Amino acid sequence: MQLRFALTFFLLVVAAATARAQDQWIAARQQMVRDIESLTVETASATGRKALDAKVMAAMAKVPRHLFVPTGQQPYGYENRPLPIGYGQTISQPYIVALMTDLMRVKPGDVTLEIGTGSGYQAAILSELVKEVYTIEIIEPLGKRAEQQLVQLGYRNVAVKIADGYYGWPERGPFDAIIVTAAASYIPPPLVKQLKPGGRMVIPVGASFLTQYLMLVEKQPDGSVVSRQLLPVSFVPLTGRH
170-193 confidence digits (pLDDT tens) = 999 999 999 999 999 999 999 999
127 is catalytic: no
Q: Is the pLDDT score of 22 beyond 90?
A: no
Among residues 38, 45, 92, 119, which one is catalytic?
92
Give me the mean pLDDT over the 208-235 stretch.
Answer: 90
Say how many C-beta atoms besides its own lie within 10 A of residue 141's C-beta. Answer: 11
Contacts 24+ apart (CB under 8 A), 26-30: 28/66, 28/77, 28/78, 29/60, 29/61, 29/62, 29/64, 29/65, 29/78, 30/61
pTM: predicted TM-score of the whole model, two decimal places: 0.88
Contact residues for 63 (Cβ-Cβ < 8 A; gap 6+): 121, 124, 125, 128
Q: Please report, for the chain, the start and end positions of each structural domain, with discontinuous segments joined by +.
A: 2-233
pLDDT at 13 (0 to 100): 35
Q: Is 2-233 a CATH 2.60.40.420 domain?
A: no
pLDDT tens-digit profile of 108-162?
999 999 999 999 999 999 999 999 999 999 999 999 999 999 999 999 999 999 9
